[in-house]
Amino acid sequence: MSSVAKWVLRNMLVTSESLTPEISLRLITEASPLWTSSPDKCPYSDPYWAFYWPGGQGLTRFILDNRSLFRYSSVLDFGCGCGSASIAVKLSGGKVLSNDVDTNALVATRINHRLNNITYVNSSFSAKNYLLPTYFQELQCFLESSTSSYIVLGDMFYDCDFASEIFAWLKKVCSVSKSRVLVGDPDRHPLTDHKHTTRFKKELLAEYRLPLCVTKENYGFTTTKTNCQTFICIYR
């Protein structure tokens, strides 16, 4: 077992207090000693994968409530973090590529698969940065390996410059594939600011009220939305 996996098992608690109580996850929660300790007590910088973000919660809830959409589909979980959306895809009978540039997120995603008795059949894990053109072809092959495909993004629009990069990439991917893009997000700035919103069309699929504990942990966000986004394609 890797040292990261050992650390996760020792320091992160199993919880199901979220919008998706049917999935258990190992996380840093308010009940974890790490929650109140100084940042240097955590050996990993920016452990985003140790939290279950509001956008990821809404996205995962949507997948679990609409399982038939994902059965036999190929799904890229871009920025998988703790792996919740990937787990929901597997419970729906889909094939998932769990992707995160932080390899520790992939360790957490694997651990959370096992916690929910999910096998690795039809699951693959990659730390590649799919935003880079080098991996464009490889990604297309994965998305085209089933008759329907999705790119799902939970809480990935936390920074304006990074959001711009993701929008440009999604536009390019969608210009050559029939993949649908599903975004779970509590309405962070790049998804509501006019400067960015002219770059895509969005259809609200679901809106969920976040449990109180999630609201408290996330700057008072009370709801989270799941949108299907289409990008104005100049390549088609």
56: contact with ligand SAM by CB under 6 A: yes
In whole angstroms, give the CA distance from residue 23 to residue 115.
9
Site string for ligand SAM, 63-102 (x = CB under 6 A): ---------------xxxxx----------------xxxx
Work out whether 105 is an interface residue with ligand SAM (CB under 6 A): yes
- Binding part of the chain for ligand SAM, among 35-43, 50-58, 212-220, 222-230 by CB under 6 A, reads 50-58
Using CB under 6 A as the binding rule, whether residue 142 contacts ligand SAM is answered as no
Stretch binding ligand SAM (CB under 6 A), from 6-14, 148-156, 200-208, 223-231: 148-156
Q: What is the CA radius of gyration of the chain?
A: 17
Q: How many CB atoms lie within 10 A of CB 214?
A: 20
Nearer to ligand SAM, 165 or 193 (CB): 165
Instruction: Give which of 117, 23, 138 is closest to 74, Cα–Cα.
Output: 138
Site for ligand SAM in 168-227 (CB under 6 A): none
Q: Which helix (H) or strand (E) holds 200?
A: strand 200-209
Is 53 one of the binding residues for ligand SAM (CB under 6 A)?
yes
Q: Which two tokens stand for residue 101?
A: 């540039």
Do 32 and 8 meet the contact criterion of CB atoms below 8 Å apart? no
Judged by CB under 6 A, the residue of 158, 172, 215, 221 near ligand SAM is 158
DSSP alpha helix (H) spans, the chain: 3-11, 54-65, 67-70, 84-92, 103-115, 136-143, 160-176, 194-197, 212-217
236 CB neighbour count, 10 Å cutoff: 8
| Residue 125 engages ligand SAM in binding (rule: CB under 6 A) | no
Give the nearest distance from C-beta 124 to ligand SAM in angstroms. Answer: 14
CA distance 58 to 52: 10
User: Count residues contacting ligand SAM (CB under 6 A)?
Assistant: 22
Instruction: Output the smallest distance, CB 147 to ligand SAM, in A.
Output: 25
Which residues of this chain interact with ligand SAM, rule CB under 6 A?
A: 48-49, 52-53, 55-56, 78-82, 99-102, 105, 129, 131, 154-156, 158
